[in-house]
Structures are given as structure tokens and as C-alpha cells.
Amino acid sequence: MTEKLKRLHVGKVVNNPLMKDYTTYKVGGRALAIVYPNSIKNLIKLLKYLKENKIKHKILGNGSNLIFSDSMYEGVLIKLDEFNKLEISDTIVTVGAGYNLIKLSMKVARLGLAGLEFASGIPGTVGGAIFMNAGAYKSDMGYIISEVKVLTPDFDIITLYNKDLDFHYRTSFLQKHPDYICLEAKMILKKGDAKEIMDIIADRKQRRLLTQPLEYPSAGSVFRNPENDFAGRLIEELGYKGKNIGGAYVSEKHANFIVNKNNATATDVRNLIKEIKKKIKEKYNIDLIVEQEFVD
């Protein structure tokens, strides 16, 4: 498989990667390969090859929202790290899907551009953040994205505008249509004071350090907050703070975080998520929605 992929000459190929090295939970088994296409043309070439040969595939960002299983992922993962062009013109930012979101938020903040402060603690790529409409502090990607260049399932490159992207709480058009691949985004920011923006980011970082278990591998909030409530409060009321299955623990700091405290397996993490979801449903009749995606 890897040799055939290398012969396509579409970009770097990693053979049989261990998914714990590519996800923020640090769990998961191996995949057949990871490919880093170095152009849109080569991405299309790769996708056509995978489609013709009926090979399962998935776009992988920073792995901050995915939980692979402990067994082999019988497919190819595609990382768009090479799609990292960045252009800033006044308040308009045009950026590739593979660009690191934290890096981008810090860069624009230092330039005195406001609107992306909420993303300074979200460890994803621009494409991944748009896909799931990542957000924090009552803001999200839907507030700043004006348009996105995408590759359609028919290999056409089209532009989707904000209204087309159907941004809602932690979801988007792209999440509902995963065959559309985000290539590049245009975001509109506002002029602000660089020092004030950096102070906000520093203050929020300090707050995160105090309230979130950043010292352990995790994938951030596990569940979406139900309407007019907080998932963390419900889990804490359930008495689940500190509860563990194997090496996976409900954080003592923040009950809506599951952390890999002691060489957890993907099965440990998944089983703990499923157990919490089941218990919350039994006790409160609330169907908590899992923010993370199980990949098999």
C-alpha cells in the first residue's frame, strides 16, 4: 500500500502510523498510511486513486476531536499541513486549511486584529475548526468566516459563503457533508489594540490553567452543553469526578474533560464516554451529544 502511494508522487507518505502519535488523547492503534498532499492537484490525484481502489480515507487535522479505536484503521489518512498559505490584507485574512489555529490567533493578535481571541486555546487546524465550528467564550468560527474554498465530491473547487456553511453550535455544512473538503478560508477580523488583545488572551490562558486539566492528554470538552445547562455540572452531580475506566479518568478539575492519566487505551476512553452518556440519560433523561468523533 505505502509503496503504491509513494509512486503517486503526491507528497510525503508515512507508513503504518500509530494514531496515538497523531491525536491529542494519545490513544489509538495504527492506520495503513498518512499522506501529506503538497498541492490541490495532488490531493485530487490521491482522492481519485483512493476512490478507484475503494480505499477508505479520512481528512485528519490535529487529531484534537477524534478517537480512533485500538485496532487497525483500514484506510488512509490525509493531512493538509502543506495547505498553510497565509495572506493578511488590512482586516481580511486568507488562510490554508492546514494552518494551526492557535498559531494563527496569536499572529493576528500581535498585529492588532481582533475576533480570533477565542481560538487561542483550541489545538486544531483552520479546516478542522471550520468543520466543527469550534468556539469558546461565546464566539465561534461562524462569526468570522466569510467564505471557504472547498473541494466537492466531484473534484470541483467551489466557494461556499457564510450563509451556505450553516454554522450552528459546534456544527456546520461541512460536518454534515464530510465529502466536501475545506481547502482555504477567508475570515474578516476587526482592528483593535494589540496589547489589549494579548492581555485578553493571557488572562484566558491563566483561567484555563486554573480550571482545565491541561497537564494531561485530552480532547477538550467531551459533551456539548445541553440547552440552559452545563454538561460538566451534570457529570459532577452524578458523582463522576475522578471516576476512571483503566487509564482514562474524568478530570477532578473539570468534569466535562476526560483525561489520559495512566496509559489509557482508546477503549478505556470510549467506554467512559459511553458510560457517562448512559448514566446522564438514566438520571436526567438528557441525551448528551458527544463532541468527539469515534473513528473505526
What number is the average pLDDT over the span 104-121?
A: 98
For residues 98 and 79, the answer to whether their CB atoms sit within 8 Å is yes
Please tell me which residue in 117, 147, 184, 291 is annotated as part of the active site. Answer: 291
Q: Is residue 206 part of a domain?
A: no
Using alpha carbons, select from 96, 169, 88, 172 the residue that is nearest to residue 130.
Answer: 172
Point out the domain boundary residue: 46, 78, 110. Answer: 78
Question: Are residue 95 and residue 184 in the same domain, yes or no?
Answer: yes
Residue 205 counted as domain residue: no
Residue 99: what are its φ and ψ, rounded to 5°?
A: -70, 140
Q: What is the mean pLDDT of residues 185-201?
A: 98
Answer yes or no: is 110 within a domain. yes
- Residue 121 shares a structural domain with residue 187: yes
Q: What is the pLDDT of residues 27-44, one digit of tens each?
A: 999 999 999 999 999 999
Q: Does an H or E element contain 2, and which?
A: helix 2-7
pLDDT for 179: 95
Asked if the structure places residue 114 within a domain, the reply is: yes
170 is catalytic: yes
Same domain, yes or no: 107 and 183: yes
Cell triple for 63: 487529531
Domain membership of residue 207 (yes or no) is no
Within a domain: 276: yes
State pTM to two decimals: 0.94
In a domain, residue 241? The reply is yes
Task: Give residue-wise pLDDT tens across range 98-107.
Answer: 999 999 999 9
Mean pLDDT, residues 14-21: 98
Residues 112 and 164 in one domain: yes
Reported confidence tier of residue 2, pLDDT bands at 50, 70, 90: confident
What is the percent of the chain with per-residue pLDDT over 90, rounded to a whole number?
99
> What pLDDT is recorded for position 41?
98
Secondary structure class of 203 (helix, strand, coil): helix
Alpha carbons 61 and 78: distance in angstroms, whole number: 8
Catalytic residue among 170, 204, 208, 224: 170
- Choose, from 105, 120, 221, 251, the residue flagged as catalytic: 221
Per the prediction, the chain carries an average pLDDT of 97
What's the domain count of the chain?
Answer: 3
What's the pLDDT score for residue 260? 98
Q: What are phi and psi of 281, to 5 degrees?
A: -65, -45
Phi, then psi, of 111 in degrees rounded to 5: -90, 0
Question: End-to-end alpha-carbon separation of the chain, Å?
Answer: 19
User: From the centroid of its chain, how far is CA 209?
Assistant: 20
Is there a catalytic annotation at residue 291? yes
Query: Would you state the pLDDT for residue 275?
Result: 98
CATH number where 33 lies: 3.30.43.10
CATH of residue 256: 3.90.78.10
Domain termination residue (choose one: 150, 169, 196)? 196
With DSSP H G I counted as helix, E B as strand and the rest as coil, what are the percentages for the chain, rounded to 5?
A: 35, 30, 40
- Do both 153 and 217 map to the same domain? no
The continuous run of DSSP H or E covering 205 comes out as helix 194-211
Does residue 257 fall inside a structural domain?
yes
Q: What is the predicted pLDDT for the residue at 1?
A: 79
Among the candidates 78, 98, 133, a domain finishes at: 78
Question: Rounded to whole angstroms, what are the CA distances from 15 to 60, 99, 274?
Answer: 15, 23, 32
Show the domain range for 49. Answer: 2-78
Sheet of strand 244-245, all strands in order from the earlier edge strand to the far edge = 244-245, 248-250, 258-260
